[in-house]
């Protein structure tokens, strides 16, 4: 561990202006980002008496090897820059509010010709209206119920295209859960109006639709059309069921997000209820590790910063009110920032009495239960992970703690489509954002050991290249470094994504899938690159033996060992990742078609022909003039296609459909 005194800046060198600071580890990776009204006063708290710091802050300053700062013009600018850097670098010692699950939204794709109702997760799409978030079970029931009353299209583009081509609707069209615009049962304009009604209802305006259906039901009864009246009655019941599923908790027209948290010395649980139109539309939860001696106002600030930072550019999605248990630090600047994201005023306040305070109490109870549940579930996991890492370290007699493990595997079929995979585990947990895959070609694809040597060489060559680039940047003159820092501040608020680090920082341990030959090949690759501080082992499948480089005998871990179980899980994950990539590559290589042998016909033009005529059979039956109607097909190419299918052997070639040899799926016949 580094001594903070070795990189402590002189007090006089630190400005007293507002700014943002970053701590870096010996590999140059940003491990903590913070902001301060007075940089000198804030940074001095880290170095004045490190022994008096909180345990995790103590670990941070001893893990770091340097600190740097950027002066900004105001506290609002420091808030924006801090969020930008936390999002870019994901520092391990910052409080990171990671959602405990992915919540689905009910979405209506109003940007399409025939709007589609579907369940979506993740990143928002332009031209799509979202409602939620919901729990997975509730959203499916809601969607299924509403399609009775608002039969909006819910099929995929492929199903829609096939229905248009065949003139027959899909199953939902037959059971009246789709108005079937694909076959002309309803015009595009009327279908869009139906989708607008769906969105209006989901927006909370249910009473007009219920009243209209009740009037239509009464009219049907007066006309003695009891079958239609019964259907309308069922539709009314369905709408009321959906509308009443969410209890009214606040006055109608109230749009608010209600946050509450429950914390102890190490962790904090956060819950939020999304209230729209006075009704609870969704609930979300987070559990975070308090990695610094953060106060509750600072936790609330970081929470709102990260939750709503993802909503940037989506005006109208932020509520008018954000109710919090404690006023956040930098409340004025935070409110100004949120109002800018929403495009209208946002009020951040603490409810003191009335219905909102009562709802806050309910949310707080949920947070308290969430933290208890999290601790009961994680206690065993955390203990086992720590035990497993310690067992591996002791069995292999390694002098360093295993903070990061990388595992490599090779996959192929009889030497074809050779690929490699790299999976990453940090603190015993997979870090999928840093998984990598390699395509192995040439002489390296001759056998497993050559492929393993090639993959390890490429992985660590990238690491050495990044290391040299960082060293070159550190050696820049002071005036050039200041210019680069000023440029970084200037672009901090832009929408241009930050360059992605190729291979992050080096692992403590490399695990290869295989025995002695694969281990020696991996060790040879590291030795050739001059890397000495990375340890290599192999895990052989047959007897689950752990092999060390240049060793005649393996290390045998007990069958019930937590360390062996962790190594097996890492190895299996690398194998799964390699197999997935290999199948993708093999599937592309083994897709064959009768159109492949047509001279001058590339992939894009083949797709254009299939889109125009539907199949190879349709292309074969088309005339030269009809072929020129496809995008990118000129007279000379159309003539070549006709000659190909009418020449000797052309009939035989035309009967071979496009087939994916991996799955057996017929692609273009």
- Give the SS3 label for residue 399: coil
DSSP, res 4: G
Q: What is the pLDDT of residues 207-218, one digit of tens each?
A: 777 788 888 888
**Domain locations in the chain as residue ranges:** 4-89, 98-203, 206-245, 256-372, 397-462+503-570, 590-660
In 3D, which of 365, 318, 323, 363 has the Cα closest to residue 344?
318
CB neighbours of 504 closer than 8 A, spacing ≥ 6?
Answer: 29, 424, 434
- Give the SS3 label for residue 423: strand
The whole-angstrom separation of Cα 569 and Cα 405 is 12
Cis before 133 (ω within 30):
yes
User: Which residue(s) pair with 275 in the sheet?
Assistant: 256, 280
User: What is the per-residue pLDDT for 522?
Assistant: 92
Q: Which parts of the chain sit beneath pLDDT 50? A: 100, 312-315, 489-498, 648-669
- Give the SS3 label for residue 479: helix
- The gap between the terminal CA atoms of the chain, to the nearest Å, is 64
User: Which CATH class for the 256-372 domain?
Assistant: alpha beta
CB neighbours of 60 closer than 8 A, spacing ≥ 6?
Answer: 23, 31, 32, 93, 291, 292
Q: Is the dihedral of CA 334, 335, 340, 341 positive or negative?
A: positive
Q: Which residues of 62-80 are buried (b: 16+ CB within 10 A; e: fewer)?
A: ebbbebebbbbeebbbbbb
Cα dihedral 620, 622, 624, 628, rounded to 10, equals: -110
Element (H, E) at 106: strand 105-108
Q: What are phi and psi of 206, to 5 degrees?
A: -90, -30
Looking at CATH, the fold of the domain delimited by 590-660 is given as DNA polymerase; domain 1 (1.10.150)
664: left (phi over 0), alpha (psi -120 to 50) or beta: left
Q: Is the dihedral of CA 17, 23, 27, 30 positive or negative?
A: negative
User: What is the per-residue pLDDT for 500?
Assistant: 52
Q: Using DSSP, how many helices (H) and how many strands (E) does the chain show?
A: 21, 20
The whole-angstrom separation of Cα 381 and Cα 375 is 10
User: What is the per-residue pLDDT for 31?
Assistant: 87
User: Which residue(s) pair with 117 in the sheet?
Assistant: 108
CB neighbours of 151 closer than 8 A, spacing ≥ 6?
Answer: 172, 176, 177, 178, 179, 194
Helix, strand, coil % over all residues of the chain, rounded to 5: 50, 15, 35
Written as six digits, the tokens of 13 are 């060198």
In 3D, which of 359, 354, 297, 363 has the Cα closest to residue 328?
297
User: Which residue(s) pair with 107 in the sheet?
Assistant: 118, 130
The whole-angstrom separation of Cα 329 and Cα 327 is 7
Asked whether this chain's domains 256-372 and 397-462+503-570 adopt the same fold, the reply is yes
Written as six digits, the tokens of 462 are 């990238």
User: Which residue(s) pair with 437 in the sheet?
Assistant: 421
In 3D, which of 588, 639, 633, 636 has the Cα closest to residue 611?
633
CATH code of the domain made up of 4-89 = 3.40.1440.10
The whole-angstrom separation of Cα 292 and Cα 33 is 11
Q: What are phi and psi of 120, to 5 degrees?
A: -130, 150
Is residue 558 exposed (0-12), middle (13-18) or buried (19+ Cβ within 10 Å)? exposed
Is 657:669 a contact under the CB 8 Å cutoff?
yes
Written as six digits, the tokens of 243 are 């509308």
DSSP, res 123: S
In 3D, which of 143, 369, 135 has the Cα closest to residue 274?
135
In 3D, which of 128, 136, 133 has the Cα closest to residue 108?
128
The whole-angstrom separation of Cα 180 and Cα 191 is 9
Element (H, E) at 538: strand 535-540
Written as six digits, the tokens of 334 are 């935070």
Q: Which residues of 319-344 are buried (b: 16+ CB within 10 A; e: fewer)?
A: bebbbbbbebbbbebbbebbeebbee
Is 10:47 a contact under the CB 8 Å cutoff?
no
CATH code of the domain made up of 397-462+503-570 = 3.30.420.340
Is residue 34 exposed (0-12), middle (13-18) or buried (19+ Cβ within 10 Å)? buried
Element (H, E) at 259: strand 256-263
Cα dihedral 235, 240, 245, 246, rounded to 10, equals: 130
The whole-angstrom separation of Cα 341 and Cα 209 is 33
DSSP, res 13: G
């Amino acid at each position: 561990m580094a001594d903070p005194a070795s990189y402590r800046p002189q007090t006089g060198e630190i400005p007293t202006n507002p700014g943002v600071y970053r701590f870096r580890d010996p590999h140059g990776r940003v491990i903590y980002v913070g902001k301060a009204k007075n940089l000198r006063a804030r940074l001095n708290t880290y170095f004045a008496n490190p022994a008096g710091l909180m345990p995790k802050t103590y670990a941070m300053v001893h893990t770091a090897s340097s600190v740097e700062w950027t002066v900004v013009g105001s506290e609002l600018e420091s808030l924006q820059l801090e969020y930008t850097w936390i999002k870019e670098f994901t520092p391990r010692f910052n409080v990171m509010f990671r959602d405990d699950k992915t919540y689905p939204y009910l979405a209506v794709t109003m940007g399409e010709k025939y709007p589609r109702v579907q369940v979506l997760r993740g990143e928002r799409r332009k031209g799509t209206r979202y409602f939620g978030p919901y729990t997975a079970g509730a959203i499916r029931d809601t969607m299924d119920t509403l399609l009775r009353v608002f039969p909006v299209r819910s099929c995929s583009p492929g199903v829609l295209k096939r229905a248009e081509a065949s003139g027959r609707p899909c199953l939902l069209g037959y059971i009246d859960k789709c108005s079937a615009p694909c076959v002309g049962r309803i015009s595009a304009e009327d279908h869009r109006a139906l989708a607008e009604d769906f969105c209006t209802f989901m927006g909370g305006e249910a009473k007009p639709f219920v009243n209209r259906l009740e009037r239509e039901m009464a009219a049907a009864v007066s006309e003695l059309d009891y079958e239609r009246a019964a259907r309308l009655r069922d539709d009314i019941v369905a709408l009321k069921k959906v509308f009443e599923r969410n209890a009214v908790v606040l006055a109608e027209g109230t749009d608010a997000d209600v946050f509450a948290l429950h914390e102890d010395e190490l962790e904090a649980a956060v819950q939020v209820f999304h209230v729209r139109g006075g009704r609870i539309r969704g609930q979300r939860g987070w559990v975070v590790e308090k990695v610094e001696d953060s106060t509750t106002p600072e936790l609330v600030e970081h929470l709102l910063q990260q939750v709503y930072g993802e909503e940037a550019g989506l005006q109208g999605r932020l509520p008018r009110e954000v109710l919090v248990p404690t006023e956040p630090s930098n409340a004025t600047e935070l409110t100004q920032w949120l109002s800018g994201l929403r495009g209208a005023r946002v009020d951040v306040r603490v409810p003191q009495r009335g219905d909102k305070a009562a709802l806050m109490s309910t949310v707080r109870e949920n947070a308290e239960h969430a933290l208890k549940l999290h601790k009961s579930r994680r206690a065993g996991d955390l203990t086992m992970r720590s035990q497993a890492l310690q067992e591996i370290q002791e069995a292999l007699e390694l002098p360093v703690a295993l903070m990061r493990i990388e595992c490599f595997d090779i996959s192929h079929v009889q030497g074809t489509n050779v690929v490699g995979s790299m999976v990453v585990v940090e603190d015993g947990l997979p870090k999928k954002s840093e998984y990598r895959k390699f395509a192995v070609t040439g002489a390296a694809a001759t056998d497993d050991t050559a492929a393993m040597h090639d993959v390890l060489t490429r992985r660590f060559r990238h690491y050495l290249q990044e290391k040299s680039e960082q060293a070159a940047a550190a050696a820049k003159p002071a005036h050039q470094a200041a210019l680069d820092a000023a440029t970084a501040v200037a672009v901090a608020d832009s929408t241009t994504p930050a360059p992605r680090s190729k291979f992050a920082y080096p692992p403590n341990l490399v695990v290869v899938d295989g025995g002695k030959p694969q281990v020696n090949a991996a060790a040879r690759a590291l030795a050739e690159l001059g890397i000495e501080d990375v340890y290599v082992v192999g895990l052989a499948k047959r007897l689950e033996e752990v092999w060390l480089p240049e060793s005649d005998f393996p290390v045998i871990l007990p069958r019930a060992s937590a360390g062996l179980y962790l190594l097996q899980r890492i190895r299996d994950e690398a194998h799964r990742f390699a197999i997935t990539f290999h199948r993708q590559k093999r599937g592309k290589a083994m897709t064959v078609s009768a159109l492949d042998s047509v001279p001058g016909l590339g992939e894009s033009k083949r797709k254009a022909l299939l889109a125009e005529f539907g199949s190879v059979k349709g292309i074969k039956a088309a005339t030269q003039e009809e072929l020129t109607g496809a995008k990118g097909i000129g007279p000379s190419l159309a003539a070549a296609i006709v000659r190909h299918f009418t020449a000797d052997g052309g009939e035989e070639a035309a009967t071979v459909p496009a087939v994916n040899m991996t799955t057996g799926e017929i692609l273009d016949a």
